[in-house]
Structure 1
Amino acid sequence: MSLLNQLFNRGVLGTRCKTCLNLAISRIKLLQNKRDVQLKQMCKEISQFLQAGQEAIARIRVEHIIREQNIWAAYEILELFCEFVLARVPIIENQRECPSELREAIASIIFAAPRCSDVPDLLHIKNLFTTKYGKEFVSAASELRPDSGVNRTIIEKLSVTAPSGEVKLKVLREIAEEYNIAWDSSKTEAEFRKNHEDLLGGAKQVSAGVTLSHTPSRNGSNNPPSRTKEPSNKSVHDKQEYKQLEAPSLSNNNSALNINEIEQSHKNNDVPAGDAQSETRFQSSDVLEKARAAIASADRASAAARAAAALVQSSFASLKLEGK
């Protein structure tokens, strides 16, 4: 780049930077005056809520006041930084690197530019500094990298975190004192100090507890050994009863198959798991009763079938004798 182009670009950068800085300073002053009026109106409304005993609404509205106060304080610091940089524009033009004494002011302006939408001139200043010092310098300030030089107060005032209960209580007391309201802050103080339960976390904890209480342990460490042995002994006893109740007839084969299926389902349901043991025992006893009833009915049916077959055979034999 020729010397003429360097001089031309340097003059253009200085002129644009001065114009944007002057516009930003003027706009910040107007916004501060506007915010002063809004803050007074909001403080008056909160004092009316406190006087009427509507503390719940006041606790919510005070967060907006704190947010406006933080932005107002950040704008005040940015105005000072803009005036400081405006006075040092010739130094910025003559040096290729950012001067150490201007690093905090320039980095703070770059950091606040996208977070202060009411002052679009700061974005133009940020673009000028990007052209001057490069994207790496601007990225370091925007992302708050180590040694970026951004003012700590600017970071705190422009953060989006909710204010603490102590800060809200302090602002409410200041408003009550300013408007001469005899306000008892004990109820609000207790509300701010209360630890509100996390419903999502609580639901997860409850569901986890239910799962642990109804899920069997693989190692068997959660259940006492005496309780774990009972279902196994009961299952062996049930199997013996099943085997004793089997009938040798053909009609009982189907019932035997049903018994085997019941035994298999009984094995699957026989899980020694905490509170589920009693439920499993009740289900096993119901299954046994049904199996016994089915076997008894099958025995009666087979006996009736055998009696009918014997009657038919005797009738058939008597008919043969008569025919002869």
Structure 2
Amino acid sequence: MSLLNQLFNRGILGAKCKTCLNLAISRIKLLQNKRDMQLKLMRKEIAQFLQAGQEAIARIRVEHVIREQNIWASYEILELFCEFVLARVPILDSQRECPSELREAVASIIFAAPRCSDVPDLLHVRNLFAAKYGKEFIAAASELRPDTSVNRTIIEKLSVSAPSPVVKLKVLKDIVHEYNVEWDSSKTEAEFSKKPEDLLNGPKQVSSGTTPSQVPPKHSPSNEAHPIMSAQRKGLECHQSPSPAATTSLLGQGGTTSSIKNDNTTSVNDLRNETRPQSSAVLERAHAAIAAAERATAAARAAAQLANIKFSTQKLEEQKS
């Protein structure tokens, strides 16, 4: 009989599945009570933040509240599925394929087991289902393939995507209504209505590198086709005689330059006449200073000679005595 049971995959679940399901149910109840207390405290804190006018912190905290509420709701559904499968373990053990009425419950437990790390007993149940129905059945439920029937509510509640602004605003309003907080939601609604900026891709419109003023001028085809002829024309224009208007302008320029030269010569002569008396006075002062210096040197020499005479007479008197 054991060989036949192995061929038909019978007798694999048995008591192990019942034990794991019972442990999972009791653990889920404990976690629900714990999360219920945490949710009350978190909602109360958000109400206090809104009352104090700290809406930015409340908008951030409300996402965590929504996440905890989703996990709490998914645990409630999983508890019902575990109780449903526990009551029908003999049916699962007696049939080779998963019955259609139990497919949703089994697939939901398989999908939620790796996403509910607080309930490790679900992983043991998942391994038992893998031994019973094969790895392909487990992969189909885990990857949400079309042929599986995982509960849609569990998929939504265990999703890792951020909650929508509508859901966040609804939870905030529920908290305000629960704790009777006076709060104007217009600022938060305006903040939620803003579209997120795409900071990675940058601006979509790229400005052109050249402006209309920087566009190079277009050359006429005639000049490009005959560059030698244009150069010859320029040379001829340079060698042509100047026009009468040009000569008159040159004469006018010559008259102005001659007048400028005359003005410059007169100004130089005036400067020379002004500097002559000043230079003579300076020379006289220099001569007087030189004479005074010569007198001072002569007086110094005379004083030195007198000092030498006095010193020599003193020595002679000392020698005589």
Q: TM-score, normalised by structure 2?
A: 0.65
CA contact (8 A) 2:12 2:128 kept: no
Instruction: Report the alpha carbon displacement of residue 150 of structure 1 after superposing the two structures with TM.
Output: 0.3
Q: Which runs of structure 2 are paired with 1:5-154 in the superposition (5 Å)?
A: 6=6, 10-11=10-11, 13-154=13-154
Per-residue deviation, 1:196: 3.0
1:67 maps to amino acid: R
Question: For the structure 1 residues 157 and 233, does the alpha-carbon distance in structure 2 shift closer, same or farther, using more than 3 Å as the test?
Answer: same
- Please provide the CA RMSD for this pair: 3.1
CA displacement at 1:200 relative to structure 2: 2.8
The verdict on how the C-alpha distance between 1:242 and 1:125 changes in structure 2, with shifts beyond 3 A counting, is farther
Q: How does 1:262-301 map to 2 (within 5 A)?
A: none
Equivalent AA in structure 2 for residue 176 of structure 1 = V
**CA–CA distance in structure 1, aligned partners of residues 2 and 200 of structure 2:** 65
Deviation at 1:240, TM superposition (A): 7.0
- Matching residue's letter, 2:209: H
Distance 2:12 2:165 in 1: 50
Q: Deviation of residue 112 (structure 1)? A: 0.5
C-alpha change, 1:215 and 1:182, in structure 2 (3 Å) is: same
State how far apart, in whole Å, the 2-side matches of 1:241 and 1:172 are: 85
Structure 2 residue matching 1:147: 3-state secondary structure: coil
- 1:163 & 1:192 partners in 2: Cα distance? 11
Which residue of structure 2 lines up, in the alignment, with residue 214 of structure 1?
209
3-state SS of 1:199 partner: coil
CA shift for structure 1 position 214 = 1.9
Shift of 1:12: 5.4
Displacement after TM superposition at 1:21 (Å): 0.3
CA distance in structure 2 between the aligned counterparts of 1:148 and 1:184, rounded to whole angstroms: 45
Distance in 2 between residues matched to 1:66 and 1:178, nearest whole Å: 16
Give the residue type in structure 2 aligned to 1:130. A
Aligned partner letter, 2:204: Q
Cα displacement (A) at 1:229: 8.4
Alpha-carbon shift at residue 25 of structure 1 (Å):
0.4
Q: Equivalents in 2 of 1:113, 1:12: separation in Å?
A: 19
Structure 2 residue matching 1:148: 3-state secondary structure: coil
Shift of 1:233: 4.0
Counterparts of 1:134 and 1:171 in 2: how far apart (Å)? 42
For 1:5 and 1:145, the matched residues in 2 are separated by: 29
Aligned partners of 1:2 and 1:11: how far apart in 2? 9
Measure, in 2, the Cα distance between the counterparts of 1:20 and 1:241. Answer: 102
**Paired position in structure 2 for 1:286:** none
Cα shift at 1:190: 1.1
Q: How far apart are 1:231 and its partner, in Å?
A: 3.1
Larger radius of gyration: 2
- Residue 277 (structure 1) aligns with: none
Distance 1:120 1:228, change over 3 A: same
Q: Which amino acid aligns with 1:148?
A: T
Distance in 2, matches of 1:163 and 1:56, equals: 16
SS of 1:163's equivalent in the other structure is coil
Q: Distance in 2 between matches of 1:48 and 1:229?
A: 67
Provide the residue aligned with 2:217 in structure 1.
230
Distance in 1 (CA, whole Å) between partners of 2:142 and 2:63 is 26
Q: Which runs of 5+ in 2 are unaligned?
A: 236-321
* Alpha-carbon distance between aligned partners in 2 of 1:6 and 1:27, rounded to the nearest angstrom: 32
Over 2 Å off, 4+ runs: 1-7, 9-13, 227-237, 239-244
Inter-partner Cα distance in structure 2 for 1:215 and 1:148: 59
Counterpart amino acid of 1:184? D
